[in-house]
Amino acid sequence: MITLRRDVSVGPLGLVHCEAMFRWASDPDIRRDVGLRQAPSREHTEAWVRRAEQDPAILPLAIYRGGEHVGNVVLDRIDTFVQSGRLSIYLGSLSVRGAGVGRTAVYLACREGFQQLDLHKIWLTVHTRNTAAINTYTRLGFRLEGILRDEFWLDGQRADLLYMGLIRDEYQALPVQWMPTDEPGAAA
C-alpha cells in the first residue's frame, strides 16, 4: 500500500514562484542533484517559466504542502503522438524531504499526465546515487528500462543514469491510501 499525504497538492507554476525557484537553484546540493550546468539567475528562472507556460510540450507544476510552495514537478518532452512525457521533480524546502511530500507530488503529477494529458507512458532519469528518489519511483510503479552509463556528472565524477518508466495501466493499478488529515505530520 502506498500512503499519500492529503496536505500535498500541485498547481500551475508561474512567475509568482520564481523567487523561491531562484533561491532553491542557488543551493549547491539542489543544483548538483538536478544537474544545472550554469549559475542560476532570476532572469534565467523567469525566462524558463515564461517559455514553459507557452510550450504545449511542458506542464510545469508547483508543489504545495499545506498551501506553501515547497518544490516543483514538471512533465516535459510531452509527445502527443506517442503519448509520453518525461517527469522531473525537486523539493526546494529541506524541511519536507523524507516525509512523503515528493512521493505524493509524483503521484499527483502522474495523475495529471495520465488523466489530463492522456499520456500512455511517463518516463524519467535519475542518477544512481539518488537512492531516496529511486526508492520513491520504484514504490510508485516505475520500472527500470535501461541504464545510461556515465551519463551524469556529479561531484567531479561520472555517474550512471537509470531510465525508468511507468505505463498508465500500471499507475491505475497502484494500491494507494490517503493519510488521514489528523495524522501527525499530515497538516500544514
Domain assignments of the chain as residue spans, ordered by start: 2-178
pLDDT digits (tens, 9 = 90+) for 141-184: 999 999 999 999 888 899 999 999 999 999 999 999 998 765 55
Q: How far is CA 167 from CA 111, 135, 149, in A?
A: 12, 18, 24
- pLDDT of the residue at 181: 64
pTM of the model: 0.91
Residue 84 pLDDT more than 50? yes
Domain 2-178 is of which CATH architecture? 3-Layer(aba) Sandwich (3.40)
Indicate the pLDDT class of residue 188, thresholds 50, 70 and 90: very low
pLDDT (mean) for 100-113 = 98
